[in-house]
Chain A
Amino acid sequence: MEEQKIRVLIAKPGLDGHDRGAKVIARSLRDAGMEVIYTGLRQTPEMIVEASLQEDVDAVGLSILSGAHNALVPRVITLLRENDMGDVPVFVGGIIPSEDTVALIDAGVTAVFGPGTRMDVIAATIRKAVAERA
């Protein structure tokens, strides 16, 4: 029996117009053996959760540079819960002040990755969270 593939959605919420960081993460996770659904720029929380539901992903990664994380991330988590996906781990990548990181974790985020976090650390963290969920 082939081991189960991890399906992860990488989304770029918010209005800022470039997604280089999100694409780098998406490619690294692919190279770590995951199936990465990449949805492109300017995703609203509603779009992210709809895609997560249709794709039945094991994890959601949000790449945020716009500073709007305090509004966007809790909204994604609320919508996931409303759609019976409250157990799907959510990760946030970007420049997040440490006091906000605490608040995001309190709101239900599994981990926050600052700039320069090693890719193998990110992949391993996702793998662990997905395994713990199953």
Chain B
Amino acid sequence: MPELDVLIEQACNGNRRALSRLITQVERGDDSAETVISHLYPLTGNAHIVGITGSPGAGKSSLVNEIAKRLRHLNQRVGIIAVDPSSPFSGGALLGDRIRMRDLYGDSGIFIRSMASRGNLGGLARATGAAVKVMDAGGFNTILIETVGAGQAEVDIAATAHTTIVIEAPGMGDDIQTIKAGILEIADIIVVNKADRPGADITVKALQAMLQLGHPAKTVHHGTVVDVAGVPDEQSALSWQPQVLESVATTGSGVDDVVDEIGRHYTYLRETGRWFEREKDRSRQEIEQLLTARFIARLVALIPQHERDAVVADVAARRQNPYAAVSQLLEKMMSADFQNLPRG
């Protein structure tokens, strides 16, 4: 395989084989992943990252297919990352999202990559963020991420994407799940897909009602509904109200509106300065995750296994409480660090 810097240069010049290999490198998560990202990072930050989440079979892949076709007509280069779950038993995975994306074949402005979640909860793989960066540096204007589709607690996507689309299919059962999972809180756009199925209008109304609860424009005062006074115009102009749209992903009906809404959200983020706020949130989360991972790795390296096991046993047997145990481990780690390790 060519040297890493050659691969990086090739990928940035549009070589798809090189791009593909770089994604594999970052997915491995070893030292070369760090090297790849540190080289590419200055070239990232331009792509609009759009997440698509929703219950299994809601039509995420089919909708991604239709959205991508339309973005191509707008002359955007589109990267797609489709995440499917790894089996907790075998560690293997069946990645089948491409089946619904065959229309996108043969277009060099499209790049589709399937990823297995590899034990990560939250709807994405641990390396999804890094794969997004590779595509971003490779010059893709919009990157669509399809999440695992557990339908619940897919909060990672909100931290990874600029724009999050939540897909629902008709059926009240799903809607109750939605409230429980709190998934509406992460939605910038809501799409009721399979609008050709009975009950779609009921689902739309239910979702609109729920959004109304979350973003009250009116309030109840002594039993009568009154307009909320005193919300400064400035603030309401700056806030984003998620719309509920309908689509039939198998025919493409309604997808133009979804694409328009994605564009509208992009403009909103850019014009209000929210774009950079989201970048900061993303960076903060990324730093915290790395910090935690490295901190634990150091802890593990500095304190022998048998000592850590002894602390675990003490807590389990109630000889010590977990807080005291952690304080003790941290103290040990700090002193071990300063006394025994070369700096830097």
Residues of A within 8 A of B (CB): 1, 4-5, 26-27, 29-40, 46-47, 50-51, 53-56, 83-85
CA distance A83 to B21 in the complex (A): 13
Mostly, the B contact residues are mixed
CA distance A31 to B88 in the complex (A): 10
A34-B24 in contact (CB<8A): no
Instruction: Give the 4 A-B residue pairs with the shortest CB-CB distance, closest first.
Output: A30-B92, A40-B99, A56-B20, A33-B92
Our pick among B30, B86, B96 for the contact of A38 (Cβ within 8 Å) is: B96
Residue B13, interface by CB 8 Å: no
Given A39-B99, A55-B113, A56-B23, decide whether A31 and B106 contact each other with a Cβ distance below 8 A.
no
CA distance A47 to B110 in the complex (A): 13
Residue of B nearest to A85 (CB): B17
Residue B282, interface by CB 8 Å: no
State how many angstroms separate the Cβ of A132 from the closest Cβ of chain B: 16
Given A1-B30, A4-B28, A30-B93, decide whether A37 and B98 contact each other with a Cβ distance below 8 A.
yes
Residue B111, interface by CB 8 Å: yes
B92-A32 in contact (CB<8A): yes
Residues of B within 8 A of A (CB): 16-17, 20-21, 23-24, 28, 30, 86-87, 89-96, 98-99, 102, 105-106, 111-114, 116, 118
B113-A38 in contact (CB<8A): no
CA distance A37 to B116 in the complex (A): 10
Tell me which residues across on chain A come within 8 A of B102, comparing CB atoms: 39-40, 47
Our pick among B90, B113, B118 for the contact of A31 (Cβ within 8 Å) is: B90
Tell me which residues across on chain A come within 8 A of B113, comparing CB atoms: 54-55
Tell me which residues across on chain A come within 8 A of B30, comparing CB atoms: 1
Tell me which residues across on chain A come within 8 A of B23, comparing CB atoms: 56
Residue of A nearest to B118 (CB): A5
5 CB contacts below 8 A, A to B, read: A36-B92, A39-B102, A54-B16, A56-B21, A84-B17
State how many angstroms separate the Cβ of A127 from the closest Cβ of chain B: 12
